[in-house]
Amino acid sequence: MAMIEMKNVSKWYGSFQVLTNCTTQVDKGEVVVVCGPSGSGKSTLIKCVNALEPFQQGDVIVNRVSISDPKTDLPKLRSQVGMVFQHFELFPHMTVTANLTLAQIKVLGRPKEEATEKGLKLLERVGLMEHAHKYPGELSGGEQQRVAIARALAMDPIAMLFDEPTSALDPEMIKEVLDVMVELAQEGMTMMVVTHEMDFARKVAHRVIFMDKGEIVEDAKKDDFFGKPRSERAVQFLSKILHH
Amino acid sequence: MFAGFDFDVIQRSLPFLFKEGMVFTVTLTLMAMTGGIVFGTLLAMMRLASLPVVPLVAGTYVNLMRSVPLVLVIFWFYFLVPWIGGWVIGATEPIRVGAFWSCAITFTIFEAAYYCEIMRAGIQAVPRGQVSAGYALGLNYWQMMGHVVLPQAFRNMAPVLLTQTIILFQDTSLVYVLSLTDFLGAAAKVANRDGRLVEMYLFVAVVYFIISFFLSYQVKGLQARIAVPGKI
């Protein structure tokens, strides 16, 4: 069953086209990695899935709900799709616990105790229980990103979007974040991940989407993509990033 | 050189100066500050809204208020609003607003234009990613603004907001033109009655200086006190 379906999505900034007829889908329980050179539209594509980026043509359907339908309750749809950002985007003026519970309380209407319990359970899962009362600014980048993942999971999402979750991290912190993501993938979470971490893709991805200049150039099973990429551009891209 | 002066007049008029005058000034300042910040924040949100017309309306209002001298607004408001209000509700007589409320409203709507620009800068200084993160969690616009953006904007801008309030505190002395008994007005009344202009105006200046200086000194400490832990 398709959890996320993108149909001919096109987007322009003024006259500059950033996405051209992007069509793909992510099935339930599937992990799809989106890669490509910078400026290829990967982040824009993934932000179209939860309507953080508006698009002019085409449609995205999340769990059978069309996001371009004006009747769709966008906040509700977004609350079902977790998102993790390149720069973490924890709320700096709130403690870790408050970050974890805000949307549970305000959006899902959970009582405070229940939200706190849920939040702390997830915090424990990402191994940061002792930081519950700290502020995000007191944590390292890797820790902040793990809190951000826990914050998204606290909403019981049906799918998770990752927008370059390790790109802003120091090398020694990348692993701790990837470990959490690998675990999620192995538990069967539906995931769409924009990343340059090809080891992650090799390990847990089912499919790899390669983008260039706003187009989906390749959309293939993992083994096909790494084994015999069909497009010239994908071959070039892989040769550039794989030997380090 | 002060032999010809009578500084005793100050001491004799202290209760009147502070209990009437300063209470009025402080009340007006606090009311206009509260109203101005609330209204100004709404204006700032309007100016930054991605809606048609709304930003234009707010922008025109702000630019208009900032291009007119405050004294003029006080005058216009005091003399015109009773008539306009009467006309709006269809009364034959101008409605009674009263000098104090007239002033409170005037300062609120005037200062709102300045607070708006401060808050606009504060809101714009909050990274776009914070807005995205708020929306991505399912918050709606008001929840996102109320819990994510505005608390950070207020923190960033608290020193500037307080500085603007110090200016407001000094500006309230302009109600003098409506013969109201604010701190300056009270002193002026005593000064004219007793013919002690130099003494009274000197005293008023010193009091305004001390309060404003003390407040602006506080501004420096404020930022450190409200800073978010771990943030540079």
pLDDT tens-place string over residues B73-89: 998 888 887 888 788 88
ipTM: 0.94
Check: CB of residue A78 under 8 Å from CB of residue A106: no
Nearest residue, CB atoms, A103 vs list B138, B151, B155: B138
- Residue B2 confidence (pLDDT): 64
Q: What is the band of A232 on the pLDDT scale with cuts at 50, 70, 90? A: confident
Q: Which residues contact A131 (CB under 8 A, 6 or more apart)?
A: A96, A123, A138, A139, A143, A147
Q: Which structure tokens are listed for A143?
A: 């820790």
- Residue B8 confidence (pLDDT): 83
Q: Do B231 and A79 touch (CB under 8 A)?
A: no
Alpha-carbon distances of A2 from A49, A159, A190, B203, rounded to whole Å: 13, 11, 10, 78
How far apart CA B122 and CA A77 sit, in angstroms, is: 29
Q: Do A155 and B138 touch (CB under 8 A)?
A: yes
Nearest residue, CB atoms, A75 vs list B133, B139, B152: B139
Q: What is the band of A243 on the pLDDT scale with cuts at 50, 70, 90? A: low
How many pairs of residues across A and B have Cβ atoms under 8 Å apart? Answer: 82
Q: What is the band of B113 on the pLDDT scale with cuts at 50, 70, 90? A: very high
- The amino acid at residue A23 is T
Q: Which structure tokens are listed for B186?
A: 């009270």
Alpha-carbon gap: B214 to the closest alpha carbon of chain A (Å): 28
> Among residues 133-152 of chain B, which lie with CB inside 8 Å of chain A?
133-140, 143, 147-148, 151-152
Check: CB of residue A51 under 8 Å from CB of residue A120: no
The mean of the pLDDT values for chain A is: 93
Over the stretch A208-226, which tens digit does the pLDDT of each residue have? 999 999 999 999 999 999 8
Beta pairing, strands A191-194 & A31-35: parallel
How far apart CA B223 and CA B232 sit, in angstroms, is: 11
Number of H helices, E strands in chain B: 10, 0
Nearest residue, CB atoms, A75 vs list B132, B138, B230: B138
Tell me the β-bridge partners of A25.
A5
Supply the pTM of this predicted model: 0.89
Nearest chain B residue (CA) to A89: B130
Over the stretch B175-221, which tens digit does the pLDDT of each residue have? 988 888 899 999 999 998 888 888 899 999 999 999 999 998 888 88
How far apart CA A180 and CA A243 sit, in angstroms, is: 25
Using CA atoms in the order B69, B72, B74, B79, what is the torsion angle rounded to 10 degrees? -160
